[in-house]
Amino acid sequence: MRIRLLVIAIAGLFLLGPTAAWSETVVRMLHIEDDQEKIALWEQIARDYEVQHPNVRVQLSHMDNQSFKLWLPTLLKSGEPPHIIHSWGGGVFQELVDAGELRDITPQMRGEWEQTLDPKGLAAFTTTQGAIYGAPMKVDLEVVWYNKALFEKAGIKAADIKSYGDFLEAVKKLKAAGITPIAVGGREQWPLHFYWTMLALRLGGKETFEAAFNRTGEGFGGPVFVHAAELFKQLVDLKPFQPDFLKANYREAAAYFGDGKAAMHFMGPFDYINQRLFSSDGKGIPDEELDYFAFPMVEGGKGNPDDSLGAINGWLVTKNAPDEAVDFLRFLLNADHQAEMARRNMHIPMTKGTAEALQNPFFRRMAEDFARSEYFQLVYDQKLGRGGGIMVNELTEALAAGSITPEEAARDLQEEWQLK
């Protein structure tokens, strides 16, 4: 019986052919995307790649944002780690490099492929020594989305919000009109940290952050970061957020904004889709009632008004990934695929020339804003690595809860940074 089964098995190998039997390569890709339309397109791109490469199978798997951050180190040491992983670049990326968890793809990137990518985006996946371990796909700029109808009801014009003082006055007017000024997902912390760090950018600009990051001068405990925390506390003291905001996650905050219950949401371009996707009716705020403005300048601040805060989203290649993983990543990020994503208004792409395909006027403006930014500040919870990122998020939540003073928050962040 065993001999007969062996014969059948060998015959099956010949029927399948030796390549299919022995040489199939599996490429495992781990993402955090929630948009089903985008996931469906990625799946189609993967199937198209498989048609062109019959001996390769591409497996896409999903993990939510918070779980991804928590479990990634464990996944990378598992028996079947992912070959391509989502990344925001920055310090977390550098820590993976230092831990030997990534594959250097500089040889494959140099030349033609490198020339197709936005240099500011590519820099997020390049070490200070010039080694490249991944590639950018999209940029997320943090902007203040607002509901035009609610602004009008409160007698506010977005064009009049030119300073942080103006922003605080708008919050007061909205509250006086019985409108929740701002939605925020405080439970996940990262949406809150945008405020403290954006205020620091407006106050001190590029030079202050880079001095603190490079451990020169007064660091994150210096007057700029203390003052930024004080300004954030001024906002918190006005009680601008929805009830129980510290118990709400990002999805719930996006839904709250999309349902027209809050006038503003300080968030990235993905909020345009998500405020609809997570809203009660699945429609959210229509385009004619939605708009955004850049976070206002602080009076006397040294930052450039065109400086922006946000994230470069892309992909890293892990240490034992096969060559096919690198090749598939290049395929995913080629101009045709990224232009298609732009046409569908899925994101602001980092492949050169493809942002021109954007149909959404908001995204087109953001692409122009990004191009105009001389300095793009990567969000701190990525730039500062896992320890620093966790700390800045926790401290901002503590500021919002009133359990810590601005001086203590800045001091604790600096102490954490000094330990790295």
Burial of 22 (0-12, 13-18, 19+ CB in 10 A): exposed
Q: pLDDT digits over 264-310, tens only?
A: 999 999 999 999 999 999 999 999 999 999 999 999 999 999 999 99
Res. 16 pLDDT band, cuts 50 70 90: very low
Mean of the pLDDT values across residues 232-242?
98
Q: pLDDT digits over 173-230, tens only?
A: 999 999 999 999 999 999 999 999 999 999 999 999 999 999 988 899 999 999 999 9
Q: pLDDT digits over 52-77, tens only?
A: 999 999 999 999 887 898 899 899 99
- CA–CA separation, 311 and 381 (whole Å): 10
Helix, coil or strand: residue 128: coil
Domains and CATH numbers, the chain: 2-140+313-364 (3.40.190.10), 143-309+378-419 (3.40.190.10)
Amino acid identity of 329?
L
pLDDT at 14 over 90: no
Amino acid identity of 31?
H
Task: Please tell me the pTM assigned to this model.
Answer: 0.88
182 DSSP assignment: E
Q: pLDDT digits over 374-400, tens only?
A: 899 999 999 999 899 999 999 999 999
- CA–CA separation, 237 and 229 (whole Å): 12
Res. 348 pLDDT band, cuts 50 70 90: very high
Mean of the pLDDT values across residues 6-10?
34
Q: pLDDT digits over 36-55, tens only?
A: 999 999 999 999 999 999 99
Instruction: Quickly tell me which residue has 């998020």 as its tokens.
Output: 393
Res. 2 pLDDT band, cuts 50 70 90: very low
